[in-house]
Structure 1
Amino acid sequence: MTIVDQLNRSIQIDYIPKRIVSLVPSQTELLYDLGLESLLVGITKFCVHPHHLITNVTVVGGTKQVHLDKIISLNPDIILCNKEENTKAMIEELENIAPVHLSDIYNIEDCLELIKMYGSLFLVKDKAENIISKIKKEQQEFQVFIKDQPQLKTVYFIWKNPWMIAGNNTFINALMSIGKFDNYFENLERYPEIDLENDMDNQVEVIMLSTEPFPFKEEHVKALKLKFQQAKILLVDGELFSWYGSRLTKSFQYFKLLRETLV
């Protein structure tokens, strides 16, 4: 049987996969919510939702580096990866072990497509449709709420030393746009470094410090408040801004709460 992933790569599989290695945390959570926990044989150390998977499933490494010998020993039927989170070199090595399905996510539509793909691939179409329907419902309700809210010029930090932000052409930017958090750095692509001293001015209304991948804390909020006194500075849940898949069922309620704190 031939399947196609989100990079339009044709993948040949002989049967419905029963042994899955997932190397993307948000996709691991999605598999769990699709009722596929029993098929998971390998995950990364960052696959923390639900937390018990770390104890019950073999950890094969991180998202950028894995123990290939561990994956070989698991005899997977398929390995699930992401174009951005996993490296090209690693994916090429993994393809020598088992078929690799690649996701490529930039917006909500891409996310819903991936859920539908997994529903077909693993014969859980009804569960996939339920998750898709819930995400659409949550988004529609949020759009009613956000309709009359103002745009807020926003900077979303993902890293410190060097300071790095989420720019255009990212899933984070797509969610910011839905929440009317107008990206101050929308002219920059992907995740560029910025000069904190010179690249931001008093037009910035909101500064978001993400809890991941850099673990920003309240101490960082306090430090930036001294420098950007005109802006509201918030710690934000990075998972709800960057994890695609079933976590999106929780994101829109969170965005509503964020907006309400900024009134």
Structure 2
Amino acid sequence: MDSRNQAECGSAKHKGRFSENIYINKSLKNKFDSSDMDADSPPAPQKKSMSRESFHRFSKLLLTSFIILLLLLKILFAIALITLFKNHPQLLDEKAIIKELNYTELECTKQYSLLKDKVWSCCPKDWKSFSSQCYFPTIDTASYSESEEKCSSMGAHLMVIHSQEEQDFITKILDHKAAYYIGLLDPGHRQWRWVDQTPYNESVTFWHPGEPNNDKKNEQCVVVNHRASGWGWNDVLCSSKVNSVCQMKKIYL
């Protein structure tokens, strides 16, 4: 083989080794690159896990803050209500009275009262005001017990009269043609008693002449009615169907 051929052969062998080296190097590079990628890939799930953990922490913190805020608002609301009703107890009293008596409206007048923080005196609507009392003449007739029960259902009782002024006041608003039960009755032996347990004062009574009829001891209830001599009291049977006058104390606000 001549020198030229030897040179070409040597050159070919050299190229072959070089190509092989390149292939080996590329394989190693790919292997190294693959191993590098495998080594770097685990952090990805770790980042995801850390993100979820942060989200859960934030959610718990937000929920806790919301619960605390609700509790604070509830406490503040309770304190506000206590303060309001402590400073204005009449609000509770008025609501309790209105609920108990089934009244939705009150008619009030401003006054200068000795009672602390009480500047309004009120009666239920359509009731008549006099002194410290409210009065309501009924328009339907009933027996004494039925009349007293009706007054009681309104938080009142049958009228009690202790003065000429009170007698004059009520008779001015009554119907001359009707008779009205008042809260005076005889439980026996002509021992007259007022329904509110106040003393019966014989010196302040307004009986019609000849009344009460002592010969009719079964007439144990009393009405106020009008005769030729004017208004006065008359004892009657408690089963008599007549009108009545209810009375209750004023509501002070």
TM-score range, shorter chain: under 0.3
Structure number with the bigger relative contact order (C-alpha 8 A, sep ≥ 6) is: 2
| Larger Rg over CA atoms | 2
- Taking structure 1 as the reference length, the TM-score comes to 0.18
